[in-house]
């Protein structure tokens, strides 16, 4: 079924956020501990089609199609785990290696059902009091038969993020400088606009999935549906300048013009996600595919695009 959906999906779809960020939460999260020896190390690599923010013409906004992250889990007590998530690929909100989340998870369980309360905070410095992002979620799992179980997650996230992007300036704002040579911008009166944005808002996340067990070790095939929606206030400051190469650096810098605007953004997305978890006592391997099924964005403007993702997660435990 997911293979058919994959073939029917358009090549590009609009994103649920005004900023590009690889999110490691709510994707494969469990309401029970997944490791046994007191700690675990997980690496995850994901691939998405590279693209731009404005008409697929400017390919420098998010040039890296890879998402790469590492996670260290530590058993602090019988019912409490502490984790650190590191983003090693960078995105429009950060560049390079960065600690993206500190995670605290508390567990409860019965014979057929398990629960977890998870708090995640973004420890980066945003120049304001408090954490830039705080995410709190409720997770549960239910054994519906000896070979099948369900997973559910619901969470709310506060977002206080700054990000930047390069876009093509509006034609009416052209400075009249001409870029000579060959390529998509040759002999055209175009400018680059650098936009620095502060996104202040809230997100709601939900996940529901089924796991179908394959062996006594816990290997399974999983199918899940994820939904998230966000409401943000965007404060944008742009510095319009000629394209690089049109003038020397001093002239281009002296021509910068600052423009500040504000706008609202409301968007959402529904994902389908499926894969296989291969469990062994010392490790776990999980290849997966994610498809954006339906997305909502404001009617005006060119926004980042969510794209099909494939990836693999490997845990040493």
Q: Which of 20-34, 39-53, 199-213, 227-241 has the lowest mean pLDDT?
A: 39-53
Mean pLDDT throughout 133-157?
Answer: 93
Reference 65, options 98, 95, 89; nearest CA is 89
Higher-confidence residue of 49 and 2: namely: 49
State the pLDDT confidence band at 193, using cuts at 50, 70 and 90. Answer: low
| 31-56 pLDDT per residue, tens | 988 888 889 999 999 886 554 333 33
Indicate the pairing of strand 220-242 with strand 257-280.
antiparallel
Cα separation, 107 vs 114, in Å, equals 8
Cα separation, 144 vs 158, in Å, equals 34
What pLDDT is recorded for position 166?
65
């Amino acid at each position: 079924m997911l293979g058919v959906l994959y073939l029917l999906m358009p090549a590009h779809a609009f994103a649920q956020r005004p900023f590009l960020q690889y999110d490691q939460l709510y994707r494969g999260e469990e309401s029970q501990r997944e490791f046994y020896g007191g700690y675990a190390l997980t690496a995850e690599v994901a691939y998405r089609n590279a693209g731009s923010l404005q008409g697929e013409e400017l390919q420098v906004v998010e040039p890296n199609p890879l998402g790469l992250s590492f996670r260290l889990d530590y058993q602090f007590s019988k019912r409490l785990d502490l984790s650190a998530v590191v983003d090693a690929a960078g995105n429009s909100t950060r560049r390079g290696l960065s600690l993206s989340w500190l995670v605290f998870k508390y567990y409860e369980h019965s014979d057929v059902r398990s629960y977890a309360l998870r708090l995640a905070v973004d420890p980066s410095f945003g120049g304001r009091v408090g954490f830039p992002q705080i995410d709190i979620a409720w997770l549960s799992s239910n054994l519906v038969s000896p070979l099948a179980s369900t997973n559910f997650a619901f969470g709310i996230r506060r977002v206080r993020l700054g990000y930047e992007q390069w876009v093509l300036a509006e034609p009416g704002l052209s400075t009249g400088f001409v870029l000579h040579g060959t390529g998509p911008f040759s002999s055209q009166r175009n400018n680059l606009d650098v936009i620095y944005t502060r996104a202040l808002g809230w997100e709601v996340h939900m996940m529901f999935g089924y796991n179908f067990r394959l062996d006594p070790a816990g290997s399974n095939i999983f199918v899940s549906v994820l939904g998230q929606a966000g409401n943000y206030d965007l404060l944008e400051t742009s510095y319009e300048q000629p394209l690089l190469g049109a003038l020397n650096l001093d002239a281009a810098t002296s021509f910068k013009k600052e423009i500040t605007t504000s706008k609202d953004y409301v968007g959402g997305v529904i994902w389908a996600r499926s894969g296989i978890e291969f469990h062994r006592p010392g490790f776990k391997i999980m290849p997966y595919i994610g498809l954006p099924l339906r997305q909502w964005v404001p009617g005006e403007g060119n926004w980042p695009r969510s794209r099909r993702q494939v990836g693999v997660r490997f845990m040493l435990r």
